[in-house]
Structure 1
Amino acid sequence: MSSLHDFATWEPLLRLLRTDHAQSLAVPGGEVAGLIGRQGWSVPVRMRFPGPGRAMLVSDNQEVHDAIDRVRTALTEAGIGDVAFAAEIPPSGRAVLHLFDHGPAVDPGIGNAHPGALTLVEGAVPEPWRRLPEPVPGARPAPSVDLAALERTLRERMPDETGATKKEIAAAEARLGVALPEEIKVLYRVTAARWWEHTENDEDAEARWEASDRVGDALGFELNSLDGLVIADRSRSSFRWEHAATEACVTSPDAVVQDLVGSPGWVVIGDTGSGDLVVVDLTPGPGGHLGQLIVLDHERSVGACLLAESLTDLVRDPDRTWYSGGSRNLTSVVARLHGEAPDSIEAAAHPDLEVLTLGGWRGEPVSLTPLVGLPRLRTLYAGPGALSDPREVARLTGLEFLELTPEDWRCLLDAGAVPRGLSAAAIEAPSDHDLRPIMALANELLTLWERPLITETVIEGDLGPLP
């Protein structure tokens, strides 16, 4: 048996939890829950904070860290990424510990033990992650492209660089599956940017740093080697269903850059130095240019920002800045209503509506009738008190993602009204909601789609009575 399922592994943590939650655990049925993973944890233990003028040290809470590390070590040994738990510890000290393995169909929660999104269809991804670029037949390189001037300028600024051969560039194109613009071929014929290949114990590291910096100064960004070129497709952007399902891709008729998560025509050639990717765009927007340079902001999942209409243009002014905070016009596509009046849902019922979230509801519950028949509505989140009749969800036949409270899910399940076209779902519950009923509800939903269930292991042990 794995040490993860050994009561001794959990005993130090259970003793801490009993001390911190003695009053609530003494109530019949009382429990305390948490989530522990290899990379982090969310456990309701009381931390000791140092006095003013001193930063917190691990040693200030060494007992807590040691107790949790015992469990994390067991996770590693078992080859498991995380475990959710609920503990019942009555005054007698006879503890019952419920361990939950999320399995392949359920994401762990964020900040508490409740499950994250349930993937009801194996391999399903949210609509923005399925979106491919639209063809722009008339796309052409920018008028500013000047290959002769570009090469002359680059060689003047990088006189000591070694470039790639035509054969090496052709091999890179074959690997990527795209034809590189002529400007990019010129760039790599001047420098292959291979400073950091085979540099173990390299005594010339300082010289290589200086070469890299010179090229960066000449271009305005940190250049990847020719062999390091990659495609920024949708797989570059990880996602959680409950977040990604509320995103949308909207490319306006005059957009310079297509609003996408990724594209088979986005070739990553460098980095801004702050974690943002510099990309050659081979699938520009209707108002853009073939081979333009764009930036993928590491804090955004969707969309990109124009850096320069061409590499020639950028090299003329390598110190230019770019701004990622430009607003995206999602007015008719995404509606986020928070505590709004009942008639606001009618105003949001636009034919282009894809995402509707109803959160922080303070007024009268609303009917979903105005949304029936909307051709593109795919995501609905409804928080506590938002819906007057949850069964109306069944009339929204195009939904692929649905997040509801436990009470609203119960209503749908009892009525046999859960939309069967869903690809994923989530349960919205406050962090103090008992864990076991939430896990049971999640398994009911997974059962409808014949998906792997959350499994439970129960461990018992005696902590002895409180002193």
Structure 2
Amino acid sequence: MVDQRSPSHSLHDFATWEPVLRLMLTGDTQRRAALPARVAGRISQYGWSLAHRGAMPTATRIAVEGIQKALGRGGVQEREIAFRAEVQPDGSTVLGLVWPSPAVEPAVGYPDLGVLVLVESALPEPWRRLPAPAPGAPAASADLELLERTLRERLPDAIGATEAEIAATEARLGVTLTDEFKVLYRVTRARWEDWDHEYQDQADTAVGCELAAMEHLYSVDAEARHPGWDLGATQAPCTPPDAAVQALAGSPGWIGFGSNGGDEYAVDLTPGPGGHTGQIILVDHEQSIGAELVADSLTDFILGRTRQEGPALRTDEPPSAATVGAGGLATVRAAAHPDLEVLSIGMPDGPPFSLAPLTGLPRLRTLSASPGALADPLELTGVTGLEFLELGAQEWRVLLDAGAVPRSLKAAAIAVRDQDHLPVVAIANDLLALWDRPRIVETILKGDLGPAT
């Protein structure tokens, strides 16, 4: 969808973008060779992604800051505007501005568009994954009497939760809390109004973290840890047979009860095969999958007997994520096996790759292929169950024209090479139309940057 209007008149002016384009054309060799030059980037209200190394000239910085201010005035706060330009040797330039869309997720590695979210609010499979059954038992170190005695000695004036409050919390969370956890909250319900600031610090020291009130206990939410489709679709977490903690983004059985000021402590009711029910884990805010084992039991945690999970056992099972070409495996057949989930295909050293070995693989959900890497994109008809697909513009056009775009997709990306810059939005909108998603609005500006020097 091409729009000649813009949310801001200043952003609609080619002169606003001219310093940015000139910066990105620094060292331009294409136009010196009488070929078109193509550039792309993103600018948000709080940052930018421009293909340029080194210091930014003052004029360019002023231009970028002006674009950022214009984005704020236009009500596009914390969103990015993508741009792409084709500059002819004589300087005539076509500049496309791609406006934020609810159907496009800005992503690292996709400078002039992003990931198309074909199904609203969809998440990659690892962020929808539920915990496996957890037959684990409490650790031998769980000692209810020692735990209660220690807490009461440290918090003699604390007000504890009633049995009714504990039962209500279990009903709200949909879980049965461990006996250790009930002991903790029978001693202190951890409400801020029960104590002054000094006593709050004493309570946090007594427990070993910033303790949440019982009514604020929560299940760690996988969706809140979603890093975006560009990173999430390529993740293939697995739980080794000796792991204490399951490789999950979140679990109804990870009950957050405190923090260290940034990361979350949780009691684990769905441990891994080598873990214990009621173990204490740390959910790192910088990670999107998994958690770190901190203590085998709440008793250990309160007493400061912390530990770390040892290395997982090695297995001879083939990897669930693989790369073919570009320094990876030599053939698609070498990567294909029933447990394969994620496959990335780079440019081959020889002929393009056939996808025939992938036919019928039951768990393959993500496929990313560089433009020109596939012998026949229509071989994708034999690959069922894909939820994320990244292809070049020409490969997408083949699928669209043949009516062969996999309808199992939840998200998609268009890998852009130089000659594909201009048609990318039209292809993206054709894909979005198949799922009746909002189309992308693109503003086309024309100007003249003068001949290459």
Scaled by the length of structure 2, what TM-score is found?
A: 0.82
Task: State the secondary structure of the residue aligned to 2:277.
Answer: coil
Cα distance change, pair 459–356 in 1 and its aligned pair in 2 (3 A): closer
Shift of 1:437: 2.0
Question: Are 1:372 and 2:370 counterparts?
Answer: no
Q: Name 1:52's counterpart in structure 2.
A: none
Question: Are 1:73 and 2:60 counterparts?
Answer: no
**Letter matched to residue 11 of structure 1:** A
Cα distance change, pair 364–100 in 1 and its aligned pair in 2 (3 A): same
Structure 1: distance between partners of 2:447 and 2:352: 46
Structure 2: distance between partners of 1:343 and 1:140: 45
> 1:380-411 CA distances to partner (integer Å, 9 max, x unpaired)?
11224532322212211222211122233233
> 1:124-146 CA distances to partner (integer Å, 9 max, x unpaired)?
2211122112333x443223221
Q: Is the 8 A contact 1:340 1:362 kept in 2?
A: no
Question: Are 1:99 and 2:97 counterparts?
Answer: yes
Cα distance change, pair 74–168 in 1 and its aligned pair in 2 (3 A): farther
> 1:79-98 CA distances to partner (integer Å, 9 max, x unpaired)?
22221123467799886543
Structure 1's unaligned 5+ residue stretches are 50-60
Give the counterpart of 1:41 among 48, 58, 61: 48
Q: Is the 8 A contact 2:295 2:307 kept in 1?
A: no
Where does 1:297-316 land on structure 2 (aligned, <5 Å)?
Answer: 297-316=284-303
Structure 1: distance between partners of 2:301 and 2:343: 40
* Identity over aligned pairs, percent: 49
Shift of 1:280: 0.8
Shift of 1:149: 0.5
Q: Name 1:188's counterpart in structure 2.
A: 185
Question: Are 1:346 and 2:333 counterparts?
Answer: yes
Structure 2: distance between partners of 1:19 and 1:250: 44
Give the counterpart of 1:449 among 432, 435, 439: 435
> 1:2-46 CA distances to partner (integer Å, 9 max, x unpaired)?
662435766344245336638667968645432111232123567
**Letter matched to residue 433 of structure 2:** T
Cα distance change, pair 460–266 in 1 and its aligned pair in 2 (3 A): same
Where does 1:160-175 land on structure 2 (aligned, <5 Å)?
Answer: 161-175=158-172
Aligned length: 443
Q: Is the 8 A contact 2:11 2:70 kept in 1?
A: no
Q: Name 1:458's counterpart in structure 2.
A: 444
Structure 2: distance between partners of 1:465 and 1:358: 38
Shift of 1:373: 1.5
Question: Are 1:262 and 2:270 counterparts?
Answer: no
Q: Is the 8 A contact 2:295 2:306 kept in 1?
A: no
Shift of 1:371: 1.6
Alignment root-mean-square deviation, CA: 3.7
Scaled by the length of structure 1, what TM-score is found?
A: 0.80
**Letter matched to residue 436 of structure 1:** L
Q: Is the 8 A contact 2:24 2:50 kept in 1?
A: no
Cα distance change, pair 122–16 in 1 and its aligned pair in 2 (3 A): closer
Structure 1: distance between partners of 2:322 and 2:241: 21
Q: Name 1:11's counterpart in structure 2.
A: 15
Shift of 1:232: 0.5
Structure 2: distance between partners of 1:157 and 1:43: 55
> 1:436-457 CA distances to partner (integer Å, 9 max, x unpaired)?
2222222222233332211112
Task: State the secondary structure of the residue aligned to 2:81.
Answer: strand
Structure 1: distance between partners of 2:45 and 2:225: 22
Structure 1: distance between partners of 2:268 and 2:413: 35
Shift of 1:150: 0.5
Question: Are 1:211 and 2:202 counterparts?
Answer: yes
**Letter matched to residue 270 of structure 1:** G
Q: Is the 8 A contact 1:164 1:191 kept in 2?
A: yes
> 1:79-122 CA distances to partner (integer Å, 9 max, x unpaired)?
22221123467799886543212422111242563222212223
Structure 2: distance between partners of 1:334 and 1:463: 45
Structure 1: distance between partners of 2:110 and 2:335: 32
Give the counterpart of 1:21 among 14, 25, 50: 25
Task: State the secondary structure of the residue aligned to 1:306.
Answer: strand
Q: Is the 8 A contact 2:323 2:329 kept in 1?
A: no
Task: State the secondary structure of the residue aligned to 2:15.
Answer: helix
Q: Is the 8 A contact 1:283 1:290 kept in 2?
A: yes
Structure 1: distance between partners of 2:233 and 2:413: 11
Structure 1: distance between partners of 2:354 and 2:449: 51
Cα distance change, pair 295–328 in 1 and its aligned pair in 2 (3 A): farther
Question: Are 1:156 and 2:163 counterparts?
Answer: no
Structure 2: distance between partners of 1:119 and 1:39: 23
Cα distance change, pair 20–315 in 1 and its aligned pair in 2 (3 A): closer
**Letter matched to residue 63 of structure 2:** A
Q: Is the 8 A contact 2:81 2:97 kept in 1?
A: yes
Where does 1:120-139 land on structure 2 (aligned, <5 Å)?
Answer: 120-136=118-134, 138-139=135-136
Task: State the secondary structure of the residue aligned to 2:430.
Answer: helix
Structure 2's unaligned 5+ residue stretches are none
**Letter matched to residue 223 of structure 1:** L
Q: Name 2:60's counterpart in structure 1.
A: 64
Q: Name 2:212's counterpart in structure 1.
A: 224
Cα distance change, pair 18–382 in 1 and its aligned pair in 2 (3 A): closer
Structure 2: distance between partners of 1:183 and 1:9: 65
Task: State the secondary structure of the residue aligned to 1:284.
Answer: coil
> 1:318-346 CA distances to partner (integer Å, 9 max, x unpaired)?
16343698689773422233436876432
